Structure 1
Amino acid sequence: MSEKSGFIRKIRTYLERNKLGDVLVLRGIISAADLKQHLFNQKASGLRLGEYLVTNKIISKNQLAFALATQSGMRSIAAGLAVFASVSFFSAKTVHAGSIKDIPASLTLASASVGAGNLSQYPALFGSTEQASRDISAFSKWSDMFSKFERDVQTGNGGLVMAQWKHDLQPLKNLSLREKATRVNQMVNKTRYITDNRNWGKSDYWATPVEFFTRGGDCEDFAIAKYASLRALGVSESRMRIAIVQDMQKNIPHAVLIVYGDDGVYVLDNQSEAMKYTQMVQHYKPIYSINRTGWWLHKTPTILASAR
């Protein structure tokens, strides 16, 4: 059995094993011993397990809803990992989209709902439903990259590159948000595209803007550079997210910058010279999105996803 097929098989097994009963035991709602007896009684009743447990007052409706959300989140993440695994074992299908692997396996819909506050003040992306969280500790590549960039700014690292970047941004300061987004998208897209393997000798590396403008980068590096550029132009980070999506046309993962404008939601994409509104982009299925204030886990309705 090949390495690829073995890994995919493990993911499929994971998908099959995350049944409702397993989640209830995992969350400490019922014991493993009780589950065995409940499963026996449930089969005899003809009801689904959740219906049986609630009807017989073994668990509450809220506990059932929590368990179902957790189960759904686990399966979404496992399915996403299966997609990314299949991409990582094959050569790239396009020169302008990278293999995104920074998807922490611990993320679930249930965990995403913790401490969200007012994060979801904008419409959900690409017709998805989303759960938000302020806890971005699992996204180490994102956090480490920005910490490094802040040090670059403070210490003057990459002086010539930073000076040129600031010079290029200067004429954009008094433009509208839409014009800033349009011009930044065009400016950053002029940078060389190069895969992380060729550039850094790693399968996935999130470059700082200094590194990106010096050496080029792949899709998430373009999105990060646009995020940092608009931030430098005074755009609130609450209006921006790096979105990790599945390109349903090319069947590959991809990263774009999302900007919430006053006249709509913009997509800044290294695969498109023109900035687009989200309603013009029908082939992206969002997986998760993030900024420096929080992250969002996305779930796309099955009917909508299959139509893309």
Structure 2
Amino acid sequence: MPDTRHVPEGPHRQLLLALHQLYRDAGRPGIKRTSDTIQGRNDLPGTLSHQGISKILHGTVVPQHWQKLESLVRQYLTWSVDQPQPEQAADTVRNILDLWHEATEQRTRKVYTPEEVVRRAQELPEDEASKFIYDAAFDPDTDFLPLVVALMPVLPDEGIRLLRRVGVTHDEEDDPRLADFITEIQRYPADVWHGHDPLTALLRSAATRTSSGTHLIKLLLQRGNTAGVQAYLKTIALRTDPLNVALLVVDLAKARGLTTVIDEFLKAIAQHMPRPLAVKVPTHLKKLGRRREERALAGLLAG
């Protein structure tokens, strides 16, 4: 559930709270499974892609078409541990519809160009500016990255905040979206970021999620994006505790086709992980039976 910095108090947050309660009651089903199930039913008014479901749950969009959201709500009700009676289910759908109306009415507004967003934000008090930028950035009609780039010269903290927000991920099904963002960011020249590291900002949340990072690494390699892999490994080294780092080494060793990534990861640990934490990683590797990697990392740290 996004925090109030990302989705402030108001109709949209109330809608999100209700949706996340349904999501929890349904057992937190995977978004791809949910999308596939909805598309396989002929008794629902609409369909959603797994990317669409992800955006709804992350609070980055309010669905423009009620039929799509209704289908998601009814599917969650089907899976609900409470198994609501038809009358109860109808009341829940009606409640979500009312919340959706309030949220969509709140979000009916002018779409600003990136330059207009920056200019207007500079005229507002800081707290109002942050909310205005957030609303503008996640309007479905806004070009997200051009807005972030426009913010960097004058409001870099806001630009980095937006990148961190879109990097929030629940599971591996978000990885294609992350890979797309990585590629788009890489297309910009370095000077537009004014000394900031956009990929680290984007990936910092993904680097600390509970699922292994091997899926995203494989996806980036399949796309030929070795620089994206290196950026992800660096972010993990910066953000993850020693045991989780060692566990990822084990996952990389087990995953088919990723053994060559291990040496790159060890270099990233030695270069980017805070030294008091990095020196603990070889001990964890030894306990996990990865003696080669233990010796290799110890050598890098000693050098």
- TM-score, normalised relative to structure 1: 0.25
Q: Which has the higher strand share?
A: 1
Higher share in helix: 2
TM-score, normalised to structure 2's length?
0.25
Which structure carries more relative contact order (alpha carbon 8 Å, separation 6+)? 1
